[in-house]
Amino acid sequence: MANVRLEDIKRRFNNVTAIEDISFEIPDGEFWVLVGPSGCGKSTILRTIAGLETATSGKLFIGDRLMNNIPARQRDVAMVFQNYALYPHMTVAENIAFGMQMRKVDRKVIQDRVLNVARSLSLEHLLDRKPKQLSGGQQQRVALGRAIARQPQVFLLDEPLSNLDAQLRDDTRAELKQLHQNVGITTVYVTHDQVEAMTLADQIVVLNRGRIQQIGDPQSIYANPANQMVASFLGNPPMNILPAIAQYEGFNVSGQLLEIPTTLQAKLQLHQGKSVDLGIRPEHITINTDSAAITENSALLSVEVKVVEPLGRETLIRASVPDSSVLLNVQVGGAVRLHPGDRLSLQLDLNHLFVFDSTTGDRIF
Ligand code: ATP
């Protein structure tokens, strides 16, 4: 096993800069997830670590050894892609054993390792089958098993679950997490799925347009996003974004004043008159049924109900702010008696309000 360190990695393709200023260090044994929208540079970073791509500049270390000029096959990394190409004429056992046979590992060792890997991925009963006799999820587990059996220093996974249907994806995701808990190989996992990032990662690296936006553990990135891109990317339903103008007493949201307490007014002083985007997550909005129940450090906003979606344990309400095109997601516990067209007063928890510069997306507070 090994740590992985990237120092100021840049990759340019002709005149397109795919990634730049990429620096981070993954401690030995941790599971890191690279996440971001399509084209943000995730795969380029992963392929650079694998040795399938050469950095235009910067340094890559695996286990403190400089890897820039080391060919892919000598890097002792194993990579699994979304299209888990298994050898169709080989059984599951032969597929898992293949990499070890190529490296002339002792037969008995191979046998033991195949069994161990199959056990940890619940594949024991399938060892004699050929890939076409397996489901997609089983095939992907074999591909994972083949990579793990090689006992690489680093495990690289590029959207390994994206070809699976929703249920299989959830199951395989949980297995992958358990597998990492068992074997503890340093892992870099690429996805554009924020749920996978949140559930699997020790640390998440959020990327946008080839640059790192934020690095942190899932909870702290969710609770304390560095900018509007990160804030909007993580969370389902996503964070609500309300365009507003900063004023002395609060924020003007399409003609409604969202009043804020004096402590926040002081923070806002430098930004008066500025266009901002207010960010608030659906779980930090409540329905204000009784004016006496207004809690401290909250602000009121009038909206009109558009859609009510009962989800069993909770209800998702989509509501519009009058005189604007803004739609808000509100998540409330249990069932509610609401209908499209109802007028509501919402209470926004200002302890969880983010304010972003509407031009740059930078966080103001
Ligand atoms: P996706 O989620 O769609 O796979 P990604 O985040 O993995 O995207 P990359 O595949 O790393 O993104 O691509 C980053 C940028 O570099 C994109 O703008 C892409 O078009 C560009 N790029 C990647 N590979 C090449 C290449 N071989 N030649 C030219 N441009 C490339």
- Structure confidence at residue 314 as a pLDDT band (50, 70, 90): very high
Q: Which atom of ligand 1 is nearest to the CA of 45?
A: 11
- Whether the complex's predicted ipTM surpasses the cut of 0.90: yes
- 22 in ligand 1 pocket by Cβ < 6 Å? no
Give the pLDDT confidence score for residue 164 in this predicted structure.
81
| More confident call, 273 vs 99 | 273
Size of the chain in residues:
365
Two tokens, residue 228: 């509007």
Q: How many CB atoms are located within 10 Å of the residue 40 CB?
A: 24
Q: What is the DSSP letter of 209?
A: T
- Closest by Cα among 331, 312, 328 to 320: 328
Assess whether pLDDT exceeds 80 at residue 60: yes
- 39 in ligand 1 pocket by Cβ < 6 Å? yes
Proportion of the chain above pLDDT 90, given as a percent? 75
Assess whether pLDDT exceeds 70 at residue 324: yes
Assess whether pLDDT exceeds 60 at residue 292: no
Q: pLDDT tens across 96-145, in order?
A: 999 888 888 899 999 999 999 898 888 999 999 999 999 888 898 899 88
3-state secondary structure of 146: helix
Rounded CA-CA distance 333/238 in Å is: 17
Q: Which atom of ligand 1 is nearest to the CA of 192?
A: 2
Compute, in angstroms, the gap from residue 43 CA to the centroid of ligand 1. Answer: 7
Compute, in angstroms, the gap from residue 17 CA to the centroid of ligand 1. Answer: 10
Taking CA atoms only, the protein residue closest to ligand 1 atom 25 is: 13
- 44 in ligand 1 pocket by Cβ < 6 Å? yes
Rounded CA-CA distance 274/267 in Å is: 13
Domains of the chain: 4-233 (3.40.50.300), 240-357 (2.40.50.140)
Assess whether pLDDT exceeds 80 at residue 295: no
- Structure confidence at residue 36 as a pLDDT band (50, 70, 90): very high
Assess whether pLDDT exceeds 70 at residue 4: yes
- Closest by Cα among 134, 59, 62, 147 to 96: 147
- 16 in ligand 1 pocket by Cβ < 6 Å? yes
pTM of the model: 0.93
Q: pLDDT tens across 210-269, in order?
A: 999 999 999 999 999 999 999 999 999 999 999 999 998 999 999 999 999 888 888 888
- 166 in ligand 1 pocket by Cβ < 6 Å? no
- 205 in ligand 1 pocket by Cβ < 6 Å? no
- 38 in ligand 1 pocket by Cβ < 6 Å? yes
